[in-house]
Chains A and B, each alone.
Chain A
Amino acid sequence: MAVPIGYIARNLVARRLTTALTAGGMALVVYVFATVLMLAAGLRATLVSTGQPDNVVVIRRGSVTEVQSGISRDQASVVESLPDIAVAGDGMRLISKESVVLISLPKRSTGKPGNVTVRGVTAAGLELRPQVKLVAGRMFHPGTSEIVVGRAIATGFRGAQLDDTLRFGSREWTVVGEFDAGRTGFDSEIWGDATQMLQAFRRNGYSSIVFKLADPDRFDAVKTELESDPRLTIEAKRERQFYADQSQALASFIRVLGTGISIIFSIGAVIGAAITMYASVASRTAEIGTLRALGFRRSAVLIAFLTEALLLGLVGGIAGLVAASFMQAVTISTTNFQTFAEIAFSFALTPAIVAASLAFALGMGLVGGFLPAARAARMKIVDALRAA
């Protein structure tokens, strides 16, 4: 038979200052733990949502990113001749041969240079990314030195606002529009006409080819066909997978580093919880003796103090999560070291992160509470009663 939960909870309330300080320490650790996971999840969500489910990205075999990749015009023509490419309502085949280069622009906040992805796209390329919406100005005209910039570029970099002129690839480019790509990776890109980009950067081949499948279920067949063609040295990936792969290294790095730091911090919080629980046991020795005398078993006393420590952890966990949830309003920009390009993303709080953070907080409570609870359960009744 268990000690009533009301008694356990009221003891925490009765010592509210100690409870608040201990739970506060745990909350800070949970906050760090949760925000780091939110950072990794946000990066992944941003990059994964960059891809469309029906789109296929073709890059040179062995390269992970478009910047590393190069596809000759001959090979591009072979890909272009695929019968599986979807056709738009106006008869346009939905395939875009694109060039991707990195340029350096000064960041608005620090003035320090950051790498920005410049993508040469075709009319079909715009059709392939329905999430990209123009929010200011107009689209660039093909055959001109006009560019449009993503939302994160317009807000994060100097000289990249509407009507500004940027100099790269030995040319002056005029910003004629700003687009919102729905918090995807394209928000951190500059787009211009593919042919103009190839000329400006003196490229003979493309970086990547993106096309939409007429029948999404044919992906595996198309992939096999392309990758087994002896004329081609390319690989094909679903666009979602392609961008998810690009988030892998940075997201893992953030997760491992952040979890490591959280675990080190948690040792402090666990010691704090243990001290609080030891104090709780010491100040309630006579109560423990009384409970045992009334007929509560050792196990009931053990469970009562463990529950108290778990409640302490739960309070800390919830407080930490509430604090972390405010981070969802923050967007940060950093260099994805797989693509070497700046990527802007937000902290994303997912149900899995909520569960992991609460489990982490309860774990801290359990570890911190175990020894004090065991001590309470081991007390001899007569010795405990003598403390009255």
Chain B
Amino acid sequence: MTPLVVIEGLSKYYLRGDQVIPVLVDLSLEVAEGEYVALMGPSGSGKSTLLNLIAGIDKPSSGTIRIGGIDIAALSDAELALWRSINVGFVFQFYNLMPVLTAFGNVELPLQLTTLSRPERRERVEAALALVGLTDRAMHLPNELSGGQQQRVAIARALITDPTLIVADEPTGDLDRATAQEILGLLGRLNDELGKTIIMVTHDPKAAETAHRLVHLEKGELVA
């Protein structure tokens, strides 16, 4: 399979005063198109930083990140924003839904960045909500939904622009075991049936088992 994500010599440092704190050190990684990868490692190992860099919401200190052939580290802020809106779907640990918008409004939000007409947006949102099994909850606000339902809304939002890559940061971290299984099943379907490439950060070995490949990080470096 052709690689979708190609990372070479990637480093990320933070400065605390005049102290340099390495988070990722000379890291190289490839993720094939349609692959489902779980990033694991102890707290502070740099897995969330790596995910943020791949998702284009943080910039590396050095190295390249090519996604679908584009070196996203070289893009400007505005170019990167446009790139994310087309290519990346986000699933967060705490769902990150807009509390004042209904499930429908939250799923529709990324489509506000497109030129789609209102009926076209409606059609897509309804399809995405049907896919995650929340058609009857479309007009509910996030605080009227359970944690699992909120995460399903977030997954529908991640899917809505039909991105090639879905990044998930501890998507089951705030859920009970049964609900977590449900969400993992849904992510698995996105990968199997829709061919989405998924990169998931998780602490949960059971969650990691659902992925095709496990990538371990320790102190900013990959371990076999």
The interface of chain A, by Cβ under 8 A from chain B, is: 1-4, 6-7, 10-11, 13-14, 286-287, 289-298, 380-382, 385, 388
Contact = CB atoms under 8 A, between A and B. Distances in A.
Contact of A293 (B90, B98, B112, B114): B90
Nearest to A2: B112
18 contacts: A1-B112, A1-B114, A3-B112, A7-B109, A13-B100, A14-B100, A286-B94, A290-B92, A290-B98, A292-B57, A294-B85, A294-B109, A295-B82, A295-B110, A297-B77, A297-B81, A385-B92, A388-B94
A294 B92 contact: no
A230 to B, nearest CB: 78
A7 B86 CA distance: 21
Nearest to B93: A388
A173 B94 CA distance: 88
B139 interface: no
A35 B78 CA distance: 46
Given A7-B98, A7-B105, A294 B57 contact: no
Contacts of A380: 58
Contact of A286 (B57, B85, B96): B96
Given A3-B112, A6-B105, A388-B94, A295 B81 contact: yes
Nearest to B115: A1
A380 B52 CA distance: 12
B57 A295 contact: no
A158 B157 CA distance: 76
Contact of A382 (B58, B81, B99): B58
Contacts of A293: 55, 57, 84, 90
Contacts of A296: 81, 85, 113
B101 interface: yes
Contacts of B110: 294-295
A172 to B, nearest CB: 76
A290 B96 contact: yes
Interface of B: 52, 55, 57-58, 77-78, 81-82, 84-86, 90, 92-94, 96, 98-101, 105, 109-110, 112-114, 157
Nearest to B157: A294
Nearest to A15: B100
A287 B98 contact: yes
B100 A10 contact: yes
A382 B112 contact: no
Contacts of B55: 293
Residue among B84, B93, B96, B100 with most chain A CB within 10 A: B100
Nearest to B85: A295
Nearest to B55: A293
Contacts of B57: 292-293, 381-382, 385
A292 B81 contact: yes
A294 B100 contact: no
B176 to A, nearest CB: 19
Contact of A4 (B58, B81, B92, B112): B112
Contacts of B157: 294
A157 to B, nearest CB: 59
Residue among A2, A286, A289, A295 with most chain B CB within 10 A: A295
A304 to B, nearest CB: 11
A190 B102 CA distance: 69
A59 to B, nearest CB: 66
A380 B90 CA distance: 17
A7 B101 contact: yes
A385 B101 CA distance: 18
A2 B90 CA distance: 20
A297 B105 contact: no
Nearest to A383: B58
A296 B114 CA distance: 11
Nearest to B84: A295
Interface pairs A-B: 4 shortest CB-CB: A295-B85, A10-B100, A381-B57, A290-B96
Contact of A298 (B77, B96, B113): B77
Nearest to B78: A297
A1 B93 CA distance: 27
Given A1-B112, A294-B85, A7 B100 contact: yes
A10 B101 CA distance: 8
Contacts of A1: 112-114
B74 to A, nearest CB: 18
A346 B94 CA distance: 59
Contacts of B90: 290, 293-294
Contacts of B113: 1, 294-296
A388 B100 contact: no
Contact of B58 (A13, A295, A381): A381
B101 A14 contact: no
A285 B107 CA distance: 20
A292 B114 CA distance: 15
Contacts of A3: 112
A292 B98 CA distance: 13
Nearest to A10: B100
Residue among A11, A14, A287, A385 with most chain B CB within 10 A: A385
A295 B89 CA distance: 10
Contacts of A291: 109
Contacts of A290: 90, 92, 96, 98
